[in-house]
Structure 1
Amino acid sequence: MLFWHGQPDHCWSGPGDAFPLPSSGLLRDPPVLPCLKQEEPGGVSTSQPPVPAFQYALCAPTSPAVRHHEETLTYLNQGQSYEIRMMGTPRGDPAEAPRMVKSVVRVVFHDRRLQYSEQQQLEGWRWSRPGDRILDIDIPLSVGILEPQIHPTLLNTVEFLWDPSRRTSVFVQVHCISTEFTLRKNGGEKGVPFRIQIDTFGAGGKGDPPEHLHSASCLVKVFKPKGADRKQKTDREKVEKQPAAEREKFQPAYESTVLAEALSPCASPLETQQWLLRRRFSSCARVFANFTGADLLKLSRRDLIQICGAPDGIRLCHALAGRCPRPRLTLYVAREPGGAEGEEDAGSGPYQELHLQQLTAAELSGKLAELLGLPPARILRLSRQGPAGIHVLVSDAMIRNLQDETSFVVAMAKELCKSCDCRVTPSPVQSVTAIFRHPETRRKFWKRRRPRRGGESRALKRI
């Protein structure tokens, strides 16, 4: 999930002196990429996007059969070495610029259907092609890269160090073809598109993870040897047969492909992983291993449900939206006039909301204690006033059967010495009584004799 923007006119100027282009004009004109950016209140912003910190160009022509405002598509031959030119754009004080950076080049799936099962797809390819790799580096042809690493288990990933101030070119080879990952293989199927993605990281401090600096990618399809040339010719002839009005709807073919920069993320992939783990999304962390914060925020509710399943997808959607989960039960509570001892400002006042998620008596007890400003340990039990004024012990089952948005009134009485008798009475009919008292008076309370009839203290008899 990326935001694409048009490449500035001065894309290869300035720093291009240290990165000269061949006289053949391999990069004759940077392609105009679709621009999806936030509109200002008064209309579309006309300000130019900033020059990206890093720029990459794949030396392979783009397809002429791509319409305007669509992402460019590039055809590659299986096993052929293609050059990726890499350049850093100076920003601020050159002395503070990173001397060496690490770039990770990967071939990943573009289709979301295959992204869900990427690990299974790669394992199946490994089993059918033992000893082969999906992505490889042609080290003899590469220029300016240091310490190239090829992970034996990560078939689609290579990494290396390079100096942004020097000319750098890495030659890569893609050994898998797009039709190897189609559902049906009866011949004539359209191959699935891939993405060549480059993530650049700075050197981290001692014990700190590397700093994510930049990400960019382009859309490619891989054919058998010479197949990309034939497909390029077929697309060109297809467009040339169109009427003049239709031909204007297609982008011109460029001799090179500029990798489109990802939106500057608020969170790096590592920070995104940590955020997911802190919120108990460990089952989804592997799927979003390469997602930045911006990538994750651009996913819709439907996308999240498809990726994570309904339970975790909905929960993750709420977490990303910054919303609290909708409560299962809402109660409205007010304090009755003439409350606790020493309270002169106690009154009916406005009602306050109590949100319950677990629907247990312990949760309700804690919410009431917080409302009254008393420690939860002082709550002995909760009882609900029933017919003829009887007090029924509040249980979890009773709370699960309470009607949503029921109103209650909290009453504070003085019958007990060194304790508080708090009655939470629904208005106007039902009632719940909560008895609060100090722990040291608990034994004395239960040894009290049963009071005589007619007193207000009848409500305090043992239940």
Structure 2
Amino acid sequence: MAESEKQYPNLLWPFAEVFSQEESSLPPDTENEILPFQYVLCAATSPAVKLHDETLTYLNQGQSYEIRMLDNRKLGELPEINGKLVKSIFRVVFHDRRLQYTEHQQLEGWRWNRPGDRILDIDIPMSVGIIDPRANPTQLNTVEFLWDPAKRTSVFIQVHCISTEFTMRKHGGEKGVPFRVQIDTFKENENGEYTEHLHSASCQIKVFKCSPWPEITYVNNSPSPGFNSSHSSFSLGEGNGSPNHQPEPPPPVTDNLLPTTTPQEAQQWLHRNRFSTFTRLFTNFSGADLLKLTRDDVIQICGPADGIRLFNALKGRMVRPRLTIYVCQESLQLREQQQPPQQKQEDGDSNGTFFVYHAIYLEELTAVELTEKIAQLFNISPHQISQIYKQGPTGIHVLISDEVSFSVLLSYLLYPSL
């Protein structure tokens, strides 16, 4: 294990340093010096690697992984870059020398099989401290950006190729070829060009597909039978009424693409919905052209991860809530009567009072979220609700907390404490 690797926990492994022939011939006392920069891939290394072998990190295809750019310079080292930017170029290259000789042909074949997709991308919204990120359309495996060594910098990368795409025989069960993430850092010369080499490093990775997810995932998205058989009562004021239908989920605030959208407007829509990578590919596509694309078409053009996301955005698909509950305002006088539930009618109580039920859609399934949704529904401040209780079958009141399962918790009456 290299000395630099001992400085970090298991989840923050630094890249193995890559030395040129000139750097390898440095005197022993110079060879062990701390290099000016260090890059840390925030992903767990494989425990199956032998003790003295180079570390190997397994990545999921299309998932964003953080690489921290660290400035390890000593005081007075490289003063010419103080207060200035440096450029780092990221590449995904082959680890095996056999594939390095045919890299151009391998990448061209991959481009032919995956039109419109890239091997390496930067997740710009998640990255911190990077300036002027660029991805050359002709270099699918390369991205670059500027950064200030004096400031915190983290770049999130996505690798879209998988290791088994470059195996010679594809009969299933292949181990897949290893890749290298290579980083070259340059400083600015007298002409303002970033051509003076400062530092290079790389690490070994393998990339595989994630387990396929269902197109739509539901987690208890309807009220439980026990909850349907009782009223969810809140002593938050007076009001009555009687709906005989279940409300639909609220319409999402989305920017839907219309068939009448012009190609220029379609380009703006792609930017607004985080599909900037594909704007060049869809330059002449109108709204009608994009909406005619099938799910398979979009996945073939954009790849599986972004393809599914783009298809859902084109079709305006709404994300269903994880849990829906129905609440109503209960009269304070009725609350004080403490009328047993079995004496109440289906839509009200024995006195003919009817209740208005409102749907609350929960995503995080936390007590804080429920409190905020209740406060928003009844136009009060969340601070006015100090606690929320559930009423058990014997009439006891149990305090709601995140530790209590919501599927059980919401089977009984809920009472907020104002």
Same fold (TM over 0.5): no
TM-score, scaled to structure 1: 0.41
TM-score, scaled to structure 2: 0.45
Larger radius of gyration: 1
